[in-house]
Every structure is written in structure tokens, then in C-alpha cells.
Chains A and B, each alone.
Chain A
């Protein structure tokens, strides 16, 4: 299908749609003198200050959301990740973080190479990814799609191991947008996923069950340099 056909717009024309909306809001002429949007007052909206112990708070909130949190220094990352993967009985592992492959292979795991496309991801037992940031207020991980990990890596395996540098833990969601939300400073990733806990459902009689489509286990390794 050629690009020109794809770009063809279906349905009503933008002009007709917009004319109806303009008429509905009662706009005559141009919208230069538009009132400014309500101010997002930090004193009201911000729940956590950057001055707080954000790593400690993140640990508590992430744990409350059902994730397991580990604290290591630079030298402890490989050992802890290997231990998690082994304890989960994970044979096939994909890794999007440098410097871990050799350790995992040594520990007997099959490290899945992604050069052959995404099919192998469906058979994974565990996936190890980095994160763009973590938000202390809600115990949330933010994974952005990029060349290394894309959208699927943190989704398809039943066990997700996320490596978080303590300097990437922000206090409040407001801080995440300030640091990573573009705001004119460059395009945001095509997919920013905020992850708060393992995949959950309580559709059947309100019983909480984890791992329905996404990972049932999320392990967070916080690295303090």
C-alpha cells in the first residue's frame, strides 16, 4: 500500500468536523484571546517533594503495589538478577541491559537473541529491562520504547526484572514530565508505559489474580552507585 493511500483521510473532513465544534463552543472568528488554562498548582497537586527520601518511598509504594524490590550497588546487579532468574526457574531469558548476558549464561539460562525478530519473545520465561524513570509517589516504573527494548519486552514474559538506577527515581509524576516529557525539548518516545505492579484482574467475583496477560511477577533491582 503506498504512503499516499495510507495518508488518505477517511470519514468526515477535518474542516466540517471542526466547524461543528467551533459552532458548539460558540466561537466566532479566531481564538487569539483565549483564556489561559487553570494553573496546575504544585501546592495542591504535588504529593511528594524531591527533598524527601524518594528511593525509600519508591521502595515502599512499589512493594505495596505487588512488586519485589532489591537494593544493590553496581557490583551486585549481575548476582541479584541471576538469582532472581534462577529462583523463578527461568530458562529462556531476554536481556536489554548491558553486561548481564555472560552472567546469565553462566548460570545456565538460555539468553534469547532478538536479531531474529520478535517471535522468540512469546516463549520467554523472563525479561530483564532498564527503565526510563521510576516514580516514588505511586511506586511506578516508566518504560519507554527505544531501540533496545521496544514495547513488548516488559510485557510478554511472565517474569519482568527491571533495573532502576537510584538517580532515575523521581518524586512525583510532575517531575517525570519535567524531565522526560518532551515539553518542546524533543519528541517523546512512541510508547511510554507506566507500570505499577504485576498484571492484575479482579473481574471474576472481585478475586485479585496476577499475571493475566502481562507479567505475573515484577522484580525491581534498584542500583545505588
Chain B
């Protein structure tokens, strides 16, 4: 989390980055949605980037797997589901194997405990400078702030996260965190914070970052990574990166801490293979991420380099509650970002309106489950339920199904808004009896036709196209008609027309 490093330095309140992903609760999406919809550049950026990723990813998946894609996703989902169904067994196996390989395994029930463990390790080993590779879990638990408060300087080393940290901004995508920023903002922040000459050339900007970060890697005494997978059989942590910063963080500093959600387990290397074959292709349309590290303990006797200590912190932080619920399959998620890239809502808004670390469809499901539906009641509504997320999911999580369930929960828990409750109460009344149904549909037809008449667009005749369109531009219908045409309804109801049609047998 970007803002937090500055919190530690200044000892002050939460900076911009912190508020974006950790807004005051209960969180309401509307203000940020309005803001995002008014930002054409953001929409263009996010829209183009996600569209390209989706097309490339679909092409690679089809080319590589052909007809096998469906069954392979099914298998990947079953492997993860099986592991979750027996998570206790696989966790025990993992802890034993990791310990045997020389790693220290720690357990954290919540974010606070997870941070405390990392801080204690840093204190005990006298670490002052932490280099960190990209990790959603550490964003979720706000590790950077905790380390900074303990006097440990934290440097994000993924290029996107580095830029976001320097700029006091917040990541907006699981895989490509600065999807919402352009090269000019990068040039400006490097000029301001690193004293580099202003540039708009991405190659030059990369070189600036490379030079700045190499100094930090060399000096760091603590490396923190996440973990994409944990292999129970061998006690290995698997870290997938493209830039090489993950390798730096787990190879150069004398202490390596991997902070990992407890749901990341797979039983064996063969199971891992199934998931690795799908992960990068679903995520960035690559066959493999450039670097896939399988780390099994610290430096061994006789090895030339690598950390002297490897710590693995297994984090619950609300996951056991999901594991216990009927929504266990949500924990299959391997954080590929395919559902974000495919979601028409995410594509329009980017990640920040979700008001949480996890955005897009998986965020709309996971965030209310982890942080309370009452705090995030808008998120399950931020979907057209088109199912594109489900279609793209490599582990077959029924995201639309979970969204619908959360909507039902909203109603049964009474967390929906007053206006919504009134509208649905009226609607329920109107369809409850034949008489009220006839009355309400008659009323609606008359009103809409009146609007069309006032708008001057009510054509004669009875075919749909010939009836014309409603030109009414007055609130609240203007919310619809400003952007879309609404056809004028016919004068009579379908039931009446049908009765006439039957009598006249064929007379339209």
C-alpha cells in the first residue's frame, strides 16, 4: 500500500493511497462511480488495456488447448476444491515439509497478527530496509504501514507498485496495478521524487527505475514476497513474476518472509502444473510468467547465495469463515485477473470505485465476504450478471451465482437502501394479483405513451418500429432516454391483442 510508507515517515494520518482502498465504512460506490464516468482518459486506458488482454488471452488459450480448455479448467477447479475440502490435511503436510526444508512457518488469525509477526521478525533480526515484491495479501493486511511504524523502510519493487508508492496513489488491478496511469504521470513523479530528468519514453523511465531500485535491492536486509501457490508435498512457495523483482527479494536480503493466504495450497507439483498452465495464459496471455520460482527453504549448506532465513506466514484473516460457508469455492481464486479484464463494469470504472484491495467481479464477491456485506452493500450490485467473468475463470468459480446470493443476503439482512426497498415493495404489489397487474401495466402504457406524445415522437400505426420512440428528456426517465432509445408501447396490452388475434385467426 502506497500511502503507508509515508504514514510511517511523517507519523501522520492516512494518505491518499490508503483512503482509496480503505475508505471509511460503510462504503458507498456512487461518488467514485460518478468520478470515474467523468474521466474519459481513465475509461479509454482501462477499456483498451483490458480489451487487448482479453483478446490476446482468449487467442492463446484457444490456440494452446482447443477443445481441452473447458475440461482443463474443470480439472483445475476440482484440484483447488479438493484441496480446500481437505485444507486441514494439506496444511499440516505443508507445514511439516516446509519445516523439514528449513523454513520457519508462522500462523496468523488476522491482519494485525500477520503484521505483528513480520514486524517481530524484522526487529529480532535487526532489519531496517525491506524490499517487497507485489503481493495482494500484504495490501489486504496493510503490511507496509505496520513495518514503517516499526521503523523499517519499505520499498515496493514491482515497477507499477513502485510508481504508485512514489506517487501516493493506490493500485487498481490485481495484475497490472497502474492500469489507470499514463507515461506522463510516471515522468512527472520520477522527476519530482527521484530527481530524474523528465521523460515520456517508457524505456528511459524503466532505466531510471532499474537504477534506483538496484541500489535498494543491494542494501536491503529484508525481502517480503507473497506466494501464488504453496505445494503441500514439498513445502515450497511458488512466486510468479515477470520483472525479476520477486527473485531479487527472495535471493538478495538475508531474511526472506513470504506472506501467503492459507487457501493457496495445492497438493503436489503435478497439480501445480495444471494451474501454472492456466495462470499466465489467463492473466497476461503468456505461456508462463518470465520467472516462476519454486522456493523450498533458505540457502543450503554449500550454496553460494540466498537468504539465511526463510519465514512463511500463513494468513487466515477471514478465510476460514468463507471456508466454513457454502461459498468455499470462492477461495479457489488464483488471482489471475481474467474476470476483471472481462467485466463490462470494471472496464468502465477501473478498480478504485470498488473501494477495496480486490476489485472487479472477484472483488465484488470477496470483499463483502471478508469485510462485511453491510460495509460493502453496493458491490454485489455492480454487475450486469452477464457471466463473462465465469466464462473466463480458469478455476470455474461461479461468480454470477455468488453475486446473486449476496444480493439475496442484502435483502434478508435488510442492508438495502430505502429507495430500493420502496420500489420493490410497489413492484411486488403490482404483480401480485391479476387486477393490480392489469392496472399497473395500463398505467405504465398510458404514461409512456403520454411521454412519447409530449416528446412529439408518437407515430401512427401499430408496429413497433412505426410507433416511434420516447423523446422525453425529463428526470427520472431521462437517466435512460438520454443515452438509449425507449420504444413507445402499443396502445393495448398483449392479452387484448392476443384475444383479438385468436378471433380473427391470422389477422395481424
Contacts and interface: CB of A to CB of B under 8 A. Distances in A.
B151 interface: no
A9 B82 CA distance: 29
B303 A150 contact: yes
A87 interface: no
B104 A152 contact: no
A188 B234 contact: yes
Interface string A170-202: 000110010001110001111111111111111
Nearest to A218: B290
Interface string A50-91: 000000000001000100000000000000000000000000
Contacts of A199: 242-244, 290-291
B314 interface: yes
Contacts of B298: 190
Interface in B36-60: 45, 48-49, 52
Interface stretch (B273-281, B377-385, B440-448): B273-281
B293 A192 contact: yes
Contacts of A209: 202-203, 206
B304 A150 contact: yes
B28 interface: no
A44 B71 contact: yes
A190 B314 CA distance: 19
B178 interface: yes
A17 B314 contact: yes
B247 A151 contact: yes
Contact of A122 (B214, B251, B304): B214
Contacts of A98: none
Interface stretch (B155-163, B452-460, B476-484): B155-163
B304 A198 contact: no
Interface in B72-122: 72, 75, 78-79, 82-89, 91-92, 95, 101-102, 104-109, 113-114, 116-117, 120-121
Given A25-B323, A150-B306, A198-B290, A214 B300 contact: no
Interface in B212-244: 213-214, 217-218, 233-234, 236, 242-244
A37 B213 CA distance: 43
Given A6-B104, A61-B287, A140-B288, A206 B324 contact: no
Contacts of A34: 86, 89
Contact of B104 (A9, A192, A194): A9
Interface string A72-116: 000000000000000000000000000000000000000000100
B88 A188 contact: no
B88 A31 contact: yes
B277 A190 contact: no
A183 B107 CA distance: 27
A38 B247 contact: no
Contacts of B183: 204-205, 207
B368 to A, nearest CB: 18
Nearest to B125: A1
Contacts of A4: none
Contact of B234 (A27, A182, A195): A182
Nearest to B99: A7
Interface string A127-155: 00000000001111000011111111001
20 contacts: A1-B125, A6-B104, A9-B107, A20-B320, A21-B88, A25-B85, A37-B267, A40-B75, A40-B271, A44-B72, A139-B287, A150-B304, A189-B300, A190-B300, A191-B293, A197-B290, A204-B205, A212-B243, A213-B214, A214-B244
Interface of A: 1, 5-7, 9-14, 16-18, 20-27, 31, 34-35, 37-38, 40-41, 44-45, 47, 61, 65, 114, 118, 122, 137-140, 145-152, 155, 173-174, 177, 181-183, 187-207, 209, 211-215
